[in-house]
Structure 1
Amino acid sequence: MHLAAILETELPWPDEAAAQSSAEKLAAALLPSPNALIELHGPLGAGKTTFTRLLLRALGVQGRIKSPSYAVMESYELPSGGVASHFDFYRFGDPREWEDAGFRDVFAAPGLKVCEWPEKAAGQLPPPDLQLFIELLPDDSRRVRAVGVPRLVEALS
């Protein structure tokens, strides 16, 4: 992310339909060949994996979309061509595990990378194109702060 080109906006997600709408808008901005790093921040149960599933569906991924909690990474072929990789770094105890897992090549290649718990790989990831900070509110709705490159943040607005 280039410091001169960062936008920020706040999105209300009163329900899953609102999250789905955001996922569909983001997918439209990413197509035809998604190539971005998206970081998802938020506590357990905030909806990071749900949002990733909604985004992958909006990009045309068919079949089962698994949580990468144990595998750390799940990859999906996109119908438009290219690959989307979903990462969950929750179980990392040390950011160097990212390097040990061999992810440098994955991140160097084109494609969509969606990362849950990116802070667990601190200092290893390239600069993100979009960060979503998902806050779980007492009424089970979400408030999302989107920070990133203008074309992606504007797509969510």
Structure 2
Amino acid sequence: MHFLANTPEDLRPAAAALAQLLADRPVAAFYGNMGVGKTTFIKVLCRHLNIADTVNSPSFAIINEYQNGEGQQVFHFDLYRLKEPEELLDMGGEDYFYSGHICLVEWPEKAADYLPENRINVSMEELPDGSRSIRFELL
């Protein structure tokens, strides 16, 4: 699947599509350069999932947990600060990934060997005109 977005509001169709895919593959790995909009996309996705909490990047905490009114848990990871992939194991990362709950992972390349094979890769790229290209790949 491929989407183009010029504004955060333009991300809503992509967020709706990803929300449906997460029912079968609850782990999504977000790839893209710094500043491309990974956290912004996750904020829009969480709004679509009826998360009322403020969604922000867990850069320092590494994991943020959200819950919607129906009790659905969403775990948001930002692995940018990991020095070694094994740090994810020390935090119980694999337990989250195989819990059946939605896991949204920024900077997944920092711990690629520990991600589930059955996941969704979300690739984001800034185009020359400043718009964003968003692609989903089901693994």
TM-score by length of 1: 0.80
Correspondence for 1:132: 122
What are the Cα deviations for residues 56-90 of structure 1, in whole angstroms up to 9, with x where unaligned? Answer: 11110113112111100001112233210000000
- Letter matched to residue 61 of structure 1: I
* The one of 118, 122, 131 aligned to 1:141: 131
| 1:34 CA displacement | 7.7
Correspondence for 1:4: none
Alignment of 1:113 onto 2:103:
yes
Question: Runs of 4 or more off by more than 3 Å in structure 1?
Answer: none
Report which of the two structures shows the higher radius of gyration computed on alpha carbons: 1
Stretch moving more, 114-123 or 58-67: 58-67
Contact 1:131-1:147 within 8 A present in 2 as well: yes
- Letter matched to residue 128 of structure 2: P
- Letter matched to residue 119 of structure 1: E
- Letter matched to residue 102 of structure 1: G
Cα distance in 1 for residues equivalent to 2:21 and 2:136:
15
Correspondence for 2:18: 26
* 3-state SS of 1:25 partner: helix
- Letter matched to residue 44 of structure 2: L
Cα distance in 2 for residues equivalent to 1:144 and 1:23:
10
Correspondence for 1:98: 88
* The one of 14, 24, 29 aligned to 2:6: 14
Cα distance in 1 for residues equivalent to 2:63 and 2:96:
10
> More relative contact order in 1 or in 2 (CA 8 Å, sep 6+)?
1
Change over 3 Å in CA distance of 1:111–1:53 after alignment to 2? same
Stretch moving more, 10-19 or 81-90: 10-19
Give unmatched runs, 5+ long, in structure 2: none
Correspondence for 2:52: 62
Contact 1:77-1:84 within 8 A present in 2 as well: yes
Q: CA RMSD in A?
A: 1.9
Q: How many residues align?
A: 139
Contact 1:87-1:116 within 8 A present in 2 as well: yes
